[in-house]
């Protein structure tokens, strides 16, 4: 499949770029996408939640009543979860929610996500550009020229371009990433992908290995 390469004014440059069937034309694997997105979201969790168990609360361990003859169960400590102010039973403790996925599965997931985007006509290719200074207004003008001003977009550059990143980070519906840092969640979370011309080659070389 081929797409026209646009300039930042939204006009066609006369060049076309072809997308490899090995990356953008595969049959998407929904389960691989599910696992990769699940891992990404799990890794975002801090896991610092903690509740005080009976060993962590400062309460008396004096016998509250005689052990026999009361008609009720024995009670040996106010730290028991049965009493107000006692420790919590089976409460949350600090933990790491991350889990391992094979590299090949993650690669299949990214390829599947890109295939979905191209299939749904949610990919735009622009020629490589840079901004002289961080200007959110200029960044927004470029999106408007591409008819993506109101859409949720992810701009993918071929290399680190601080001025573009700083220009786009204040916009709630847009993001900027480098091609070799793309992940499945970011691809699917964006309504439209704006790929720079050179980033397409980098993505295809990276995912076709």
Tell me the residue length of the chain: 209
- pLDDT of res. 37: 96
What is the mean pLDDT, run by run of 10 residues, along the chain of 209 residues?
Answer: 86 87 88 96 95 94 89 91 93 94 94 92 91 92 88 91 91 91 93 91 86
DSSP 28: P
Interatomic CA distance for residues 185 and 156, integer angstroms: 14
Tell me the torsion sign for CA atoms 166, 172, 178, 183. Answer: positive
- pLDDT of res. 177: 93
Say if CB 36 and CB 185 are below 8 A apart: yes
Interatomic CA distance for residues 188 and 152, integer angstroms: 11
- pLDDT of res. 5: 86
Domains of the chain: 2-45+100-207 (3.40.1370.10), 47-96 (no CATH)
pTM score above 0.95: no
- pLDDT of res. 143: 92
- pLDDT of res. 44: 95
Interatomic CA distance for residues 68 and 86, integer angstroms: 23
Query: Which pair of structure tokens corresponds to residue 30?
Result: 């929904």
């Amino acid at each position: 499949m081929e797409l026209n390469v646009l300039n930042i004014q939204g006009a066609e440059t006369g060049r076309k770029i072809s997308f490899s069937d090995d990356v953008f034309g595969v049959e998407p694997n929904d389960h691989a996408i599910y696992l990769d997105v699940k891992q990404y979201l799990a890794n975002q969790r801090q896991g610092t939640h903690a509740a005080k168990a009976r060993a962590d609360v400062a309460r008396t361990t004096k016998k509250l009543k005689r052990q026999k003859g009361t008609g009720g169960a024995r009670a040996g400590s106010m730290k028991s979860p049965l009493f107000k102010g006692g420790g919590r039973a089976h409460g949350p403790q600090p933990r790491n929610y991350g889990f391992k996925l094979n590299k090949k599965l993650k690669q299949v997931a990214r390829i599947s996500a890109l295939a979905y985007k191209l299939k749904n006509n949610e990919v735009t290719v622009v020629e490589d550009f840079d901004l002289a200074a961080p200007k959110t207004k200029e960044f927004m003008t470029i999106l408007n020229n591409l008819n993506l001003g109101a859409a949720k977009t992810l701009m993918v550059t071929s290399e680190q371009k601080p001025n573009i990143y700083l220009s786009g980070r204040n916009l709630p519906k847009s993001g900027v990433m480098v091609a070799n840092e793309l992940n499945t969640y970011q691809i699917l979370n964006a309504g439209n992908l704006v790929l720079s011309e050179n980033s397409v080659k980098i993505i295809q070389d990276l995912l076709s290995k």
